[in-house]
Each structure stands twice: as C-alpha cells, then as structure tokens.
Structure 1
C-alpha cells in the first residue's frame, strides 16, 4: 500500500513562499520596520482508513480575539520555547491534549504574517497513534477533524470579502460541513494545497 504521507512529504520538498493575510489585498500598505511576534501552529495529520484527517479547533465564542473561529492548535512563542515548532507542540498539548511524544514533525511551511501582528510558522506533523482529545476550558469550544483531501485540493477554496476596519478585505475560505474555515487558517492550508498540486 502506498504511504498516505508521501504526497505531503513531496509537497514539503517543493519550494514555497511566505504568505500573509494581505495576499489578496494588494492595496494595503504595511509599515516599514513593523515588529512581528513569532508564533507556531500545528497542522496535525492522522491516518485513518478513509485517508488522512486534519485536526482543527473551534475557538471559544467568549474569547477576546478571533472568537468562534476555526484554527489550528498553536500560539505565540513563549520565552521557554526553543522554536516555533516547540511552541506549536506545547500549545497542542494544552489546547487539545495531544502529547508531544505522539507527534512526528514532517517539516514546516514558509511563515505567514497575520493582521494581528504575528509571524506564524505552520508545522506539518503526523499524529503517530490515536489519542483522546480534550478541549482546553475557556479557550477551545470544539475539537474536530476534516478530510485532508478537502483542504489539499485548491479547487475547494474560494475568495470572499467583508468589511474590516472601514475597508473591504478579501480572504480565502474552504468551508466543510458546518465549519467555516477562513482567514489565516484557510490561507495557510491554501499555501500547502498549492504545493500539493502536481
């Protein structure tokens, strides 16, 4: 049987380029010398009989920033984190109870700049064995998986727009069932899907 992770590893071996929340909004002028805070997110893939599944979270609706949005486990790099990858693993343990020793890091994508001032390193990883997810109280409202094949296909993405801070902002979306995957999460997945294309 073929290795379901082989296309992912092939994609990681292809050249990519940095992305940002501003990619679809070329009129935005970013300030020179802006300070970006490093962060890491875990793009965790697990093998199932029907194919790879991607772990995602729905943020609590009570949070101050990005309430109710679909997100990867992850967060800012803290002083005790030796790298963005280690920050992603730490946050995944905290947010969804994924043990770091159950994770094999396959590689990283180019960093993604967010409108909130973070430079996010997407860490692509394999979940080695099944685990029992547990949501971090107060921060994570739901933990779920989607078929990786859905977000690995560029055809499943579309561009939408909405008003943000007085102007129209365009962004990628890749909805799946009741889950509206958009913003930075969708843009990072789109970057990966572009590299998955043969």
Structure 2
C-alpha cells in the first residue's frame, strides 16, 4: 500500500471515530503531542525517550513529541507542531496532518490533546540531549501485536496494567493510553 492510501484510510477512520473529549479547562493545563507515523516497509510510529537526568520529572519516560501550549501558540494544534520541531527538528511542511485523537489527562493535571500525521522523512532528526536521550522508531504492527496478546482490544484497561513493552523500554501511562486509542481507531485497517 502506498502512503497516499494510508493517508486516505487513516483520515477516514480518525474523522469518523469517537475520541476522548476535552475536560474542564479550568482544572487542567493544556499540552499537545504529535503521534507521528512514517513508512519504510511498514507503518512506524516515532517516539522520544526523555533524558535520564536526576530530578527530571519525566526521566526516562517514553512519549510522543510534544509539550505545553504557550501563549504565543495560535492553537493547540500549532503547539503540537512547534513542539515536534523543537524536539525532533521535523518541520510541519513535511507532515501530512491527519487529525486530533482527542484528549488524555495525566495525574499531574495536564490535558494532552493528541494529534496524528504522516511524516515524509525529508528532515534529519535532531534533538537536545538535555531533554531527550533518544528517538525510537517502533513498528505499528509490534504495538498492535502487544495490544492483541494482552487482551486490550475492545476495552480500556486501567492505567496500571496498560503497557506496551518494546526492546529495552516500556510505553506506559498517558502515552500508553494514546497508543491504545490509536490502535482501537486504526489498528485493524492498517
């Protein structure tokens, strides 16, 4: 299947799906992430692993590129693209935007609006090692196999049991919730 076919299929599935709604904005600080696909032999998702720094709140955690919405951001979507560039060097012109996956809340009163798109791989990935230790490319099929094997399909496990191990890392917490939702929406059609 070619990239334009994936875009069409993903766009249709994401637009027609029900996504987690936004919470009361007075109770949560707005943040944004970009669940970014790219294609070599198969659909692959781009993740970052936060830096291994003493005292860093997100030390060693797996995440999608993203961060806080700033006052200078025109929208939450624009914040997701700004953060994507700041954390990976990927510019928005090289991403085919697909849509929003909805809102996911953290235990630390953050509302994360997750967006998704497809990267054309025309950028060289660069990142600041003070914040990010590495960028990982995880085949979507690997995440889907874990999803099925662990019985996650069709229901939402509690946050303590929902994990997606990959090689020497584990995707957990709100990032695992976003992965779970993404798989539930498009997993069977990719």
Same fold (TM over 0.5): yes
Q: Give the structure 1 partner of residue 65 of structure 2.
A: 73
Higher relative helix content: 2
Q: State the Cα deviation string for residues 137-191 of structure 1 (Å, max 9, x = none).
A: 30000012111222345315568xxxxxxxx962411111122111111110101
One of 19, 41, 46 as aligned partner of 1:55: 46
Q: Following the alignment from structure 2 to structure 1, what is the Cα–Cα distance between the partners of residues 26 and 15?
A: 30
Query: Do 2:47 and 2:64's aligned partners in 1 also have CA atoms closer than 8 Å?
Result: yes
In structure 2, the residue corresponding to 1:155 is in which secondary structure?
A: helix
When normalised by structure 1's length, the TM-score is 0.80
Q: Following the alignment from structure 1 to structure 2, what is the Cα–Cα distance between the partners of residues 36 and 81?
A: 17
In structure 2, the residue corresponding to 1:193 is in which secondary structure?
A: helix
Q: Following the alignment from structure 2 to structure 1, what is the Cα–Cα distance between the partners of residues 149 and 62?
A: 16
Q: Following the alignment from structure 2 to structure 1, what is the Cα–Cα distance between the partners of residues 151 and 25?
A: 32
Q: Following the alignment from structure 2 to structure 1, what is the Cα–Cα distance between the partners of residues 151 and 101?
A: 21
One of 84, 91, 110 as aligned partner of 2:83: 91
Q: Following the alignment from structure 2 to structure 1, what is the Cα–Cα distance between the partners of residues 166 and 136?
A: 11
Q: Following the alignment from structure 1 to structure 2, what is the Cα–Cα distance between the partners of residues 173 and 158?
A: 11
Report matched runs for 1:27-46 at 5 Å. Answer: 35-46=27-38
Q: Tell me the C-alpha RMSD between the 2 structures.
A: 2.5
Q: Give the structure 2 partner of residue 176 of structure 1.
A: 166
Q: Give the structure 2 partner of residue 162 of structure 1.
A: none
Q: Following the alignment from structure 2 to structure 1, what is the Cα–Cα distance between the partners of residues 80 and 25?
A: 26
Which runs of 5 or more structure 2 residues have no equivalent in the other structure? 153-157
Distance 1:158 1:170, change over 3 A: farther
Report matched runs for 1:143-154 at 5 Å. Answer: 143-152=135-144, 154=147
